[in-house]
A and B are shown apart, each in its own frame.
Chain A
Amino acid sequence: MFRGSFVRFSADTKWCLVSSPETSKVDYVLFQAATAIMEAVVREWILLEKGSIESLRTFLLTYVLQRPHLQKYVREQILLAVAVILISSGNPTVQTLACSILTALLSEFSSSSKTSNIGLSMEFHGNCKRVFQEEDLRQIFLLTVEVLQEFSRREHLSAQMSSVFQRYLALANHVLSWNFLHYIAMFESSQNVLLKPTESWREALLDSRVMELFFTVHRKIREDSDMAQDSLQCLAQLASLHGPVFPDEGAQVDYLAHFIEGLLGTINGIEIEDSEAVGISSIISNLITVFPRNVLTAIPRELFSSFVNCLTHLTCSFGRSAALEEVLDKDDMVYMEAYDRLLESWLTLVQDDKHFHKGFFTQHAVQVFNSYIQCHLAAPDGTRNLTANGVASREEEEISELQEDDRDQFSDQLASVGMLGRIAAEHCIPLLTSLLEERVTRLHGQLQRQQQQLLASPTSGSADSKTLDDLYEDIHWLILVTGYLLADDTQGETPLIPPEIMEYSIKHSSEVDINTTLQILGSPGEKASSIPGYNRTDSVIRLLSAILRVSEVESRAIRADLTHLLSPQMGKDIVWFLKRWAKTYLLVDEKLYDQISVPFSTAFGADTEGSQWIVGYLLQKVLSNLSVCSSEQGLADDTVQLLVTLVERRERANLVIQCENWWNLAKQFASRSPPLNFLSSPVQRTLMKALVLGGFAHMDTETKQQYWTEVLQPLQQRFLRVINQENFPQTCQQEEVKQEITATLEALCGIAEATQVDNVAILFNFLMDFLTNCIGLMEVYKNTPETVNLIIEVFVEVAHKQICYLGESKAMNLYEACLTLLQVYSKNNLGRQRIDVTAEEEQYQDLLLIMELLTNLLSKEFIDFSDTDEVFRGQEPGPAASRSVSAADVVLYGFPTLCNQYYKLITFICEIFPEKIPQLPEDLFKSLMYSLELGMTSYPLKIMSSEVCQLCLEALTPLAEQCAKAQETDAPLFLATRHFLKLVFDMLVLQKHSTEMTTAAGEAFYTLVCLHQAEYSELVETLLSSQQDPVIYQRLADAFNKLTASSTPPALDRKQKMAFLKSLEEFMANVGGLLCVK
């Protein structure tokens, strides 16, 4: 209808806008009129007279200015029309203005956090956005492309012009980063938006000229780091194009091929600027992540190889630059970021390699792997710590304990490099072996020389720490890479030998001499090359043995009293590697593999001499470390973790307990003598855990008896001897006595940690004896908070690890013990005030522990592997629990951990003992209700976590059900639930919340509605009567009717409740966004 000449048309639209006040009040008509003007301007620009354009522009602006109460979306649409007119003018200043208007509009329509908080409902906003993205946004994009096209054609740009250029580039970026709203999702994520436009964008984006334009633009401005950010970001967005915009796979292949051509054309043969690294890596990473493998392989073969070559080249080059950045200690590590991203892309690319022919990536993997190794080794083999002009720089910086270990900090990089190493195992495994073996020899020599020096002149300090440190750092990285190459880190499941490694070993097993291989493995004290026929050995085993050689040099240095020369870091690396290796390879289970390498099964298989030898060796290593590493917490930690790995699986434990060293360790630990008693308490606990786990290995009865006599009995005897002394109440504060008690309590925690389903019976009986005695200790040590906390901790651990396995009578015993503990605790703390005003969370450690204990006990109701039931209901931990509630609520809101624990506990109480709640003393009841309300209402204010809010909602259902059962309409709980109805109602209808929250809130809501039907109707009425818009009113009224239709009258049965929850989901989808205001 608007196809007439522009003059006539503009008259029409103006008429629409101004003529009758009635018409112009209909927002929708105004909105459409503005849209029409804008389209007409674009279409018929050349036909228009300058004067009429200007008058139209002035008219539109005045119109907006004079009508401050225009609907926001109408105003914006008119401004958009103005912007379009301005852009077309060709005048840079005016164009800048237009660009600003457009940018502002874009921000307004995108639902990012930048959107102003003017009260628009989510639904309305969504609708506007949808309309906007289908029409106007595309229009803006096309305009922007045109402007950019024009700029890119010009030879020289004045400063002013280039600033306009930059603005439009930023605008293009803004459009391409648009988070397209598809009809499925109402709430969208805002991070890392990939370009997934709707179908209507097909023409605009698949036009190859558009893509080419952005490459051209980038080439033109790449030296301007600010603008390059935008142009690269635009390209990265285009590289992530996917979704309905592609009509078929063919179109996707064409697009990708075209894009890669453009990309290679842009970056091949240029020196990449620092500011380009991250952008280019995002482009590549997007291409590899977004385009499916079959599309990648469908592009011309030549092109694909060039792409992979380019990726290889860039990865190596970024890696080197990243190393330089580290040397220079730059704040902004752009190359490191780019390198990370490319390595991650490699992982994505090679993980699903069935689309590529075998060996396709091998050469590339070799290159990337080599360059990684090179960057991490010192000269002459590598370039570590070399600046660009080859000068070595080395600074001894202070490293705090908080700094992450390299193996965690660079775990992603190492995982990628390890994966590439597996692909190129033929090259990488021998490389690592020779690098390590060479360094072992050098390390050994260097340590010997320093020892000689020390013997010659004991006073002179170690002169050459640089050589040693360089060796340590080399070995450090080689071990990390080897660890990631040979094995995966899995949690819970049994890790498997990577198929590439298995294949590699099998492939060469015919050339391998098994005996020599075993000899290489079994003689870590000798140089590998001194063993005849050393080249005919299995390469994987030889790599392991290279690390055992490092380990052996370390152990010998410890024996020679050179510990002060050793690197604790390298010590950690060694035991970390051995643990990772042992989990995967030691006693390899042949059933898990289709085919197994003969060298592996001979060297590490079950019932082999090899595995027995290795177990003995590892145990020896653990002992050697523990004897010296009490002062190196991290090393001790990793060492005991290795020990746990050795005994946590029965098959390995069976071998371990055959070693004499194991028994020595047990005896030594039980005697509490140095050096083991110097270990930190967490390490001692883990050690105890390992010793207990080992006790469940397969032994004959007599041996088992003997073992427990060595390990557990001394603990009991020592403990009883101390506490049964007549003057114990007097001596209890003496330091030796306190230490004895502390060590026992720590050991008990360790024993509880070792609980498994098949040993719980024995361990529980053993621990129970102690628990009773521990309660007595509570009384004795009531003034020593450290000890009190430790005692409670024992109970917490026992409850945590064991309660789910306990049968009725045993569970009862444990409950009774805990109850007594709580009574003693309450008695000693009643009326206690803490003077410390500079309170930190950990000073409420005892409270936290008590709440944890209660939660663990209550968890029996939910997780129960025993065959008992209804033990607990007769008991009443209620009073004790409520005591901690009243103690806690004053202070804990500032402490997140305490706070979560507290809410977990009160929710448990509400769920398990709803009938006890109305019987609580008044002030306690009030503070409980207040806590619930606070938990719910603080969430939108971000004071407490969403978890707390959810817990509170979960607590409401049982409370409301309890009220329904009791039928006392004047009871305080009944009144409280009425208040909660309003809170939950508001939360569901008026506030933004997550889907998980809807489920929790829904259940609570339904029970509350059942309980307070009249109040619920009132709430709905009030809400409806406040609606002025009749359309919205009707929609809401219908929605509310539908919501309760399936459950009229609402009743507390499961079927109705489920129906209601389903309706609620529909309700939320339908009108959830309507009243929820951003």
Chain B
Amino acid sequence: MADEIDFTTGDAGASSTYPMQCSALRKNGFVVLKGRPCKIVEMSTSKTGKHGHAKVHLVGIDIFTGKKYEDICPSTHNMDVPNIKRSDYQLICIQDGYLSLLTETGEVREDLKLPEGELGKEIEGKYNAGEDVQISVMCAMSEEYAVAIKPCK
């Protein structure tokens, strides 16, 4: 993990998470559950007894691994929210399972893996077919992965 951090660019130094009151979280927003950056896919509140105080029940999906996490906490508590950054890069080439990407500032990044599964195949397919494509990259809590592909404009 440590060596991956070295290659992240831009906002080094910005904190990777910030606190937010539990009740202010939103479905489809992000939250840290069990130390992982998650997208909130389910959020419900309940209370114990009619005159009890609200508790928030969160279900999140790890934005990188797709694993499911759950948590429940009083709605007055603070939770950590990951800082999420998305960038689009132009794909230059694929080498040894790694992507070569051209950033907006003209630098080349070669530290991102070709993702596994469908998306990976699609990227490879488009690349082999000689199409110009852009790769969307998402970064959260010092991890960074390619998450989407679209044709270059």
Answer yes or no: do A and B interact.
Answer: yes
> Hey, which bits of chain A sit against chain B, CB under 8 A?
396-402, 468-469, 472-473, 476, 564, 567-570, 630-634, 678-681, 730, 733-735, 783-784, 786, 827, 830-833, 835, 842
Q: Which of these, B46, B74, B84, B148, contacts A399 with CB under 8 Å? A: B46
- CB–CB B54/A632 < 8 A: yes
**Closest CB of chain A to B87's CB: distance in Å?**
7
Instruction: Sort A-B residue pairs by CB-CB distance and give the 7 closest, nearest first.
Output: A567-B51, A631-B75, A783-B86, A631-B76, A631-B23, A472-B51, A396-B49
User: What string of 1s and 0s marks CB contacts (under 8 Å) between B88-122 and chain A?
Assistant: 10000000000000000000000000000011000
Contacts of B136 in A (CB 8 A): 783
Contacts of A680 in B (CB 8 A): 23-24
Bound: A833/B53 CA distance, A:
43
Query: Given A568-B54, A633-B45, A835 and B118 touching (CB < 8 A)?
Result: yes
Bound: A632/B87 CA distance, A:
36
Contacts of B29 in A (CB 8 A): 786
Q: Which of these, A634, A679, A734, A783, contacts B87 with CB under 8 Å? A: A783
Q: Which residue of B lies closest to A628 (CB)?
A: B76
Bound: A469/B119 CA distance, A:
55
- CB–CB A568/B51 < 8 A: yes
Contacts of A630 in B (CB 8 A): 21, 23-24
Bound: A402/B24 CA distance, A:
18
Q: Which of these, B48, B54, B119, contacts A633 with CB under 8 Å? A: B54
Bound: A472/B47 CA distance, A:
15
B50 is an interface residue with CB less than 8 A from chain A: yes
**Closest CB of chain B to A965's CB: distance in Å?**
39
**Interface members, chain B 23-39 (any A CB < 8 Å):** 23-24, 26, 28-29
- CB–CB A568/B53 < 8 A: yes
A632, A634, A735, A830, most chain B CB atoms within 10 A = A735
**Besides the known contacts A397-B49, A564-B53, A680-B23, 20 further A-B residue pairs in the complex with CB atoms under 8 A apart:** A396-B52, A398-B46, A398-B48, A399-B52, A469-B50, A476-B50, A568-B53, A568-B54, A630-B24, A631-B75, A631-B76, A632-B23, A633-B23, A678-B24, A733-B86, A734-B11, A783-B86, A784-B86, A827-B153, A832-B150
**Closest CB of chain B to A774's CB: distance in Å?**
19
Q: Which residue of B lies closest to A831 (CB)?
A: B151
**Closest CB of chain A to B141's CB: distance in Å?**
13
Contacts of A735 in B (CB 8 A): 18, 81, 83
Bound: A238/B75 CA distance, A:
56
B85 is an interface residue with CB less than 8 A from chain A: yes
B11, B24, B29, B119, most chain A CB atoms within 10 A = B24
Contacts of B11 in A (CB 8 A): 734
Q: Which residue of B lies closest to A789 (CB)?
A: B28
Contacts of B44 in A (CB 8 A): 400-402
B51, B53, B148, most chain A CB atoms within 10 A = B51
**Closest CB of chain B to A250's CB: distance in Å?**
53
Bound: A735/B44 CA distance, A:
24
**Can you list 10 A-B pairs, Cβ within 8 angstroms, ordered by A?**
A399-B47, A399-B48, A399-B49, A469-B51, A631-B75, A632-B75, A633-B54, A733-B85, A735-B81, A784-B86
- CB–CB A678/B21 < 8 A: yes
Bound: A631/B118 CA distance, A:
41
Query: Given A400-B44, A401-B44, A734-B14, A473 and B21 touching (CB < 8 A)?
Result: no
B22 is an interface residue with CB less than 8 A from chain A: yes
Bound: A398/B48 CA distance, A:
5
**Closest CB of chain A to B145's CB: distance in Å?**
13
Contacts of A831 in B (CB 8 A): 150-151
Contacts of A476 in B (CB 8 A): 50-51
Contacts of B151 in A (CB 8 A): 831
Q: Which of these, A570, A631, A678, A786, contacts B54 with CB under 8 Å? A: A631
Contacts of A842 in B (CB 8 A): 28
Contacts of A400 in B (CB 8 A): 44-46
Bound: A733/B85 CA distance, A:
6
**Closest CB of chain A to B57's CB: distance in Å?**
9
Bound: A569/B87 CA distance, A:
45
**Closest CB of chain A to B16's CB: distance in Å?**
10
Bound: A630/B86 CA distance, A:
30
Bound: A564/B47 CA distance, A:
13
Query: Given A633-B45, A832-B150, A681 and B26 touching (CB < 8 A)?
Result: yes
Query: Given A472-B51, A569-B51, A631-B75, A401 and B45 touching (CB < 8 A)?
Result: yes
Query: Given A733-B85, A842-B28, A569 and B45 touching (CB < 8 A)?
Result: no
**Closest CB of chain A to B45's CB: distance in Å?**
4
User: What string of 1s and 0s marks CB contacts (under 8 Å) between B123-153 and chain A?
Assistant: 0000000000000100000000000101101
Q: Which residue of B lies closest to A632 (CB)?
A: B54
Contacts of B54 in A (CB 8 A): 401, 568, 631-634
**Closest CB of chain B to A733's CB: distance in Å?**
5
Query: Given A630-B21, A831-B150, A473 and B45 touching (CB < 8 A)?
Result: no
Bound: A568/B50 CA distance, A:
9
User: What string of 1s and 0s marks CB contacts (under 8 Å) between B43-71 and chain A?
Assistant: 01111111111100000000000000000
**Closest CB of chain A to B113's CB: distance in Å?**
17
Contacts of A564 in B (CB 8 A): 53
Q: Which residue of B lies closest to A783 (CB)?
A: B86
Bound: A494/B24 CA distance, A:
35
Contacts of A631 in B (CB 8 A): 21-23, 53-54, 74-76
Bound: A401/B27 CA distance, A:
15
Q: Which residue of B lies closest to A732 (CB)?
A: B85
Q: Which residue of A lies closest to B61 (CB)?
A: A838
- CB–CB A570/B51 < 8 A: yes
Bound: A569/B49 CA distance, A:
10
- CB–CB B119/A835 < 8 A: yes
B11, B21, B48, B49, most chain A CB atoms within 10 A = B49
Bound: A112/B114 CA distance, A:
62
Contacts of B23 in A (CB 8 A): 630-633, 678, 680
Q: Which residue of B lies closest to A468 (CB)?
A: B51
Q: Which of these, A402, A468, A473, A835, contacts B50 with CB under 8 Å? A: A473
**Closest CB of chain B to A461's CB: distance in Å?**
14
Contacts of A472 in B (CB 8 A): 50-51
Q: Which residue of B lies closest to A681 (CB)?
A: B26
- CB–CB A835/B148 < 8 A: yes
Bound: A730/B11 CA distance, A:
9
Contacts of B75 in A (CB 8 A): 631-633
- CB–CB A783/B76 < 8 A: no
Contacts of B150 in A (CB 8 A): 831-833
Bound: A693/B28 CA distance, A:
31
**Closest CB of chain B to A295's CB: distance in Å?**
44
- CB–CB A399/B21 < 8 A: no
Contacts of A567 in B (CB 8 A): 50-51
Bound: A633/B18 CA distance, A:
22
Q: Which residue of B lies closest to A571 (CB)?
A: B51
Contacts of B14 in A (CB 8 A): 734
Contacts of A832 in B (CB 8 A): 150
Bound: A360/B58 CA distance, A:
56
Bound: A42/B145 CA distance, A:
88
- CB–CB B48/A396 < 8 A: yes
Bound: A758/B51 CA distance, A:
43
Bound: A680/B45 CA distance, A:
13
**Closest CB of chain B to A580's CB: distance in Å?**
20
A401, A472, A630, A827, most chain B CB atoms within 10 A = A401
Contacts of B148 in A (CB 8 A): 835
Contacts of A396 in B (CB 8 A): 48-49, 52
- CB–CB B28/A786 < 8 A: yes
A396, A680, A733, most chain B CB atoms within 10 A = A733
Contacts of B52 in A (CB 8 A): 396, 399, 568
Bound: A633/B84 CA distance, A:
26
Bound: A468/B53 CA distance, A:
14
Contacts of B10 in A (CB 8 A): 730
Bound: A609/B107 CA distance, A:
71
Bound: A567/B47 CA distance, A:
11
Query: Given A734-B11, A827-B153, A832-B150, A469 and B18 touching (CB < 8 A)?
Result: no
Contacts of A397 in B (CB 8 A): 48-49
